[in-house]
Amino acid sequence: MTAIYLIRHAEAEGNLYRIAQGQHESNLTDRGWRQVNALERRFADIPIDAVYASDLYRTRATATAVYRPKNLPLRRCPGLREICVGDWEGRTWGDIIRRTPEAMSDFGKRMDRWSIPGAETPAEVLARVRFTVEDIARANPGRTLALFSHGYAIRLLLANLQGISLRDTGEKMPTGDNTAVSLLEWDGERLRVVFMNDNRHLQTPEYLAGEKPAKAKRAYALEPGLWFRPLEGGAERLSAAWAEAGEAGPVPAASLTLEGLLGEEAVGLLHMTPETGRISLAYIRPDCRRRGFGVQLLGQAVQRTRERGGEELSALRTPGGPGEAYLRDCGFAPEEGTREGRRLWRKSIGFDPEI
């Protein structure tokens, strides 16, 4: 009997920033790396003979939890990739649901009829992933394997192995949490689900110690968020937001100003220079704060900077001001000292070349 641990990747940028990832490359978040550490603790005493992962960065990074401590090679496998979502890739879920609400609904609820230009169909993904997992199982009789894949792909496979149709997958098969573990068995002819979507390693004191108290959990992975457009004729709004953020003096010059909208309602502003990764202002309207919108501004900063080859974000903030709490929350680290009364904060957004 071949045992196959099927594991979803850790929290990645698209999950946090509410951006459709598909086969678009994204890094793990700070929480994602804590999930990798929790996964490593879970598998410390479980013998594994071989490790396979989708060739996308977020699964390869997650797989370090198993293959590095066990001194195993990582076998990259494109067949374990996430669904390609065509022209949705890299767009915010808020933009997608605004432009194509019916297709968005079908993507989560009626996989049998979802189809958009340039994308794989769910049926094609299911066939690809099932063939890949069975092919790996045939090549490893009697061994114990760890396979790292993606939420949508795993959801389709687990539903299919339990006799759930594509039509009913959205209703009857939940998406597992990031790093959720499922166990399959291969008897030489067919796959069987032993258990699925187990996240007990994310319930330990070691992991929970890093979680924020009473942090709200999204209902499911496709919950929409903001969409963005360039701010036009908004100099007064920008100046008012700058003053409200507790910053003195004129608003710094920057090459890009975006407004973030929930539906048709403007809730925030991002003022930055993507060519250098410098964020001058990330602002959310007071009555819209603590709803997960601020981090979506950061997602736009990451995307726009990375598109221009940048690997770092930075920001200057008045020491002790409210902007510093936001930066700390988003994983920025301060430098010692100040520059003209402001402190410099930095955040790396590069990919680890060793993964």
Q: Could you report the per-residue pLDDT of 150-167, keeping only the tens digit for each?
A: 999 999 999 999 999 999
Domain shared by 270 and 180, yes or no:
no
Q: Per-residue pLDDT tens, the chain, 355 aa: give them.
A: 999 999 999 999 999 999 999 999 999 999 999 999 999 999 999 999 999 999 999 999 999 999 999 999 999 999 999 999 999 999 999 999 999 999 999 999 999 999 999 999 999 999 999 999 999 999 999 999 999 999 999 999 999 999 999 999 999 999 999 999 999 999 999 999 999 999 999 999 999 998 876 544 444 445 669 999 999 888 899 999 998 888 878 899 999 999 999 999 999 999 999 999 999 999 999 999 888 899 999 999 999 999 999 999 999 988 887 788 889 989 999 998 777 778 999 999 999 999 9
Give the closest residue to 18 by CA, choosing from 218, 266, 163, 235: 218
Note the pLDDT of residue 216. Answer: 46
Domain shared by 309 and 277, yes or no:
yes
In a domain, 90, yes or no: yes
In a domain, 354, yes or no: no
> Cβ contacts of residue 316 below 8 Å, gap of 6+?
278, 339, 342, 343, 344, 345
In a domain, 222, yes or no: no
What secondary structure, in 3-state letters, does the chain show? CEEEEEEECCCEHHHHHCECCCCCCCCECHHHHHHHHHHHHHHCCCCCCEEEECCCHHHHHHHHHHHCCCCCCEEECHHHCCCCEHHHCCCEHHHHHHHCHHHHHHHHHCHHHCCCCCECCHHHHHHHHHHHHHHHHHCCCCCEEEEEECHHHHHHHHHHHCCCCHHHHHHHCCCCCCCCEEEEEECCCCEEEEEEEECHHHCCHHHHCCCCCCCCCCCCCCCCCCEEEECCCCHHHHHHHHHHCCCCCCCCCCCEEEEEEECCEEEEEEEEECCCCEEEEEEECHHHCCCCCHHHHHHHHHHHHHHCCCCEEEEEECCCCHHHHHHHHCCCEECCCCECCEEEEEEECCCCCCC
Domain count, the chain: 2
User: How many Cβ atoms sit within 10 Å of the Cβ of residue 126?
Assistant: 21
> In this structure, what CATH number is given to the domain that contains residue 194?
3.40.50.1240
In a domain, 274, yes or no: yes
Q: Which amino acid is at 220?
A: Y
Domain shared by 154 and 262, yes or no:
no
Percent of the chain with pLDDT over 70: 97
In a domain, 353, yes or no: no
pTM above 0.85, yes or no: yes
Domain shared by 49 and 176, yes or no:
yes
- Domain end among 162, 178, 208: 208
Domain shared by 104 and 193, yes or no:
yes
Domain shared by 302 and 199, yes or no:
no
In a domain, 218, yes or no: no
- Domain end among 179, 208, 237: 208
Distance separating alpha carbons of residues 21 and 274, to the nearest angstrom: 21
> In this structure, what CATH number is given to the domain that contains residue 248?
3.40.630.30
Domain shared by 202 and 306, yes or no:
no
In a domain, 281, yes or no: yes
Q: Could you report the per-residue pLDDT of 93-135, keeping only the tens digit for each?
A: 999 999 999 999 999 999 999 999 999 999 999 999 999 999 9
Burial class (CB in 10 A: 0-12, 13-18, 19+), 134: middle
Provide the domain limits for residue 343: 227-348
Domain shared by 162 and 91, yes or no:
yes
Domain shared by 92 and 132, yes or no:
yes
Q: Which tokens go with 69? A: 């401590």
Domain shared by 190 and 270, yes or no:
no
- Domain end among 148, 179, 208: 208
Domain shared by 203 and 276, yes or no:
no
Domain shared by 63 and 190, yes or no:
yes
Distance separating alpha carbons of residues 159 and 173, to the nearest angstrom: 6
Give the closest residue to 4 by CA, choosing from 164, 141, 152, 179: 141
